[in-house]
C-alpha cells in the first residue's frame, strides 16, 4: 500500500502543486486561426459538453488541469499543454 501521509489536499480536493489552467492560458493558447486564444463561446460549449461549470471557471479564474485532462478532448489537452509550457517559462 502507498504511503499517502505526505499528500496534502486543498479544500477543493486538488493537490496544491496541481497545475491550474487560467483564463490567461485560454486567451493566449496558440490556436488554429490568425489570433491566439480560444473564444469564450467555444470554451462554454466545451464546458457544457463535459459537465464543467463555466461560471465557476470565470469566478475562480480557471480550473485544475486534471478536470480538462479528464475530458480527453483534443482542444482541452492542447490548452493544458500550453499552460504547462507557460508554467515552466516557455511560451506566452
Write the pLDDT tens digit of every residue in 32-58. Answer: 888 899 999 999 999 999 999 999 999
Residue 49 is part of which domain span? 20-87
pTM to 2 decimal places: 0.77
Rounded to 5 degrees, what angle do the CA atoms 76, 49, 13 make? Answer: 65
Tell me how many helices (H) and strands (E) the chain has: 5, 2
Domain count, the chain: 1
Domain assignment of residue 35, yes or no: yes
Helix (H, G, I), strand (E, B) or coil at 46: helix
Compute the distance between CA of residue 84 and CA of residue 6 in angstroms, rounded to an integer.
Answer: 24
The C-alpha atoms of residue 67 and residue 87 are separated, in whole angstroms, by 17
Instruction: Kindly state whether residue 3 falls inside one of the protein's structural domains.
Output: no
Strand partners, 62: 22
In a domain, 15, yes or no: no
Task: Report the pLDDT value the prediction gives residue 81, as an integer from 0 to 100.
Answer: 96
Domain presence at residue 6: no
- Residue 58, domain member (yes or no): yes
Amino acid at each position: 500500500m502507498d504511503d499517502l501521509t505526505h499528500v496534502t489536499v486543498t479544500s477543493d480536493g486538488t493537490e496544491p502543486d496541481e497545475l491550474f489552467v487560467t483564463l490567461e492560458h485560454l486567451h493566449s493558447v496558440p490556436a488554429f486561426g490568425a489570433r491566439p486564444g480560444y473564444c469564450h463561446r467555444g470554451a462554454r460549449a466545451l464546458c457544457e459538453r463535459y459537465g464543467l461549470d463555466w461560471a465557476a471557471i470565470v469566478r475562480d479564474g480557471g480550473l485544475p488541469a486534471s478536470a480538462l485532462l479528464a475530458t480527453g478532448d483534443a482542444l482541452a489537452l492542447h490548452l493544458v499543454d500550453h499552460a504547462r509550457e507557460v508554467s515552466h517559462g516557455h511560451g506566452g
